Structure 1
């Protein structure tokens, strides 16, 4: 099918892009890809730092998306849909490669998810920066992978709890509880409100 002519400036809304993609507009598909590929890559690298693996997963997701464009049924946000698709693809590949943890899945540690500090963004005196960095790294080790993931999706990707629940295969209530436990763990171990604020502002 020939591309439907459209003004690219009028199609920044994801739902409009999906409508055009479903009608066979490859320019809209390219725009959606370019809009999210960097965020999706960064998200994928939280699970595994092997960039070729992550790139393969992203490739598979977008190939599938285009091949199945006519029957796409997106019930939540498009961003959440893409994040879930990438997450599912990555965990499937890692499971096949035996790179997932299998012990104590009830603790949320059946996979890795890493949050890191951006020290260049810290508005602190140099003599305090290293101390804060060490404290935060210690705090991150107290969180499960799922707790770190819910913090990332909420504070850095801006997903609402319905989208987080959809993305992580949880109920909305469970996603709230997961966030609550994560924040409670941080508060129990944070020496000051300043450090908690730094965590929420400067982790990536």
Structure 2
């Protein structure tokens, strides 16, 4: 969960953008563009659909900035908006979206420069082991685990982002974790989840 200081900083940045500050808008874009691209690949394999949807999202954000509501989490707001926009654009343009039986794109292989600098060799090996185990999960469980532990959303936020009720989101997370505990070395899972490593 976010700290009070982090929440305050996000509110200030978001409200500054809503008042028409271009630097704040640019900072939001720079801060979240990679996470949005990676999240888009969890929804569809169509690069053009992802890029067009993100472009539409930021275009509409700027043009409707004065009418936007406040938010405690810019990331949550953007993720939810992007998910909705991808599905709307998909319906409009008849793009193909990943179905439940398709392999999920290798979204967990995208790592930030910060991750490469901080992560030690042993942890990198453990993370790779964990990624392979996660990719064996059903698509919905992968998404729930990713949102909950790699993007630090609460169970309630995971449910909202995935468009399911709270109980379903908890079940996806619990079932996914149970599988991981049975198929990987348990301490690896505990270390990685407790560290809240983020993959962007």
Residue ranges of structure 1 left out of the alignment (5+ in a row):
1-11, 103-107
Matched residue pairs, number?
Answer: 183
1:66-77 aligned within 5 A = 66-74=62-70, 77=73
Name the TM-score, length of structure 2 as normaliser: 0.70
1:99-178 aligned within 5 A = 99-101=96-98, 112=104, 114-117=106-109, 123-124=121-122, 137=132, 139-178=133-172
Question: C-alpha separation between the residues in 1 aligned to 2:130 and 2:26?
Answer: 42
Q: 1:179 Cα shift?
A: 0.5
Pairwise CA RMSD of aligned residues?
3.6
Question: C-alpha separation between the residues in 2 aligned to 1:135 and 1:77?
Answer: 27
Question: C-alpha separation between the residues in 2 aligned to 1:156 and 1:73?
Answer: 26
Asked which structure has the greater CA Rg, the reply is 1
Q: 1:50 Cα shift?
A: 4.1
CA offset digits 1:99-156 (Å, max 9, x no partner): 1256xxxxx66995654357986835xxxx6xx968963x345412121111111222
Residue ranges of structure 2 left out of the alignment (5+ in a row):
1-7
Relative CO higher for 1 or 2, CA cutoff 8 Å, sep ≥ 6? 2
Structure (1/2) with the larger helix percentage: 2
Question: C-alpha separation between the residues in 1 aligned to 2:110 and 2:76?
Answer: 25
Name the TM-score, length of structure 1 as normaliser: 0.69
* Shift in alpha-carbon separation, 1:114–1:76, aligned structure 2, 3 A: farther
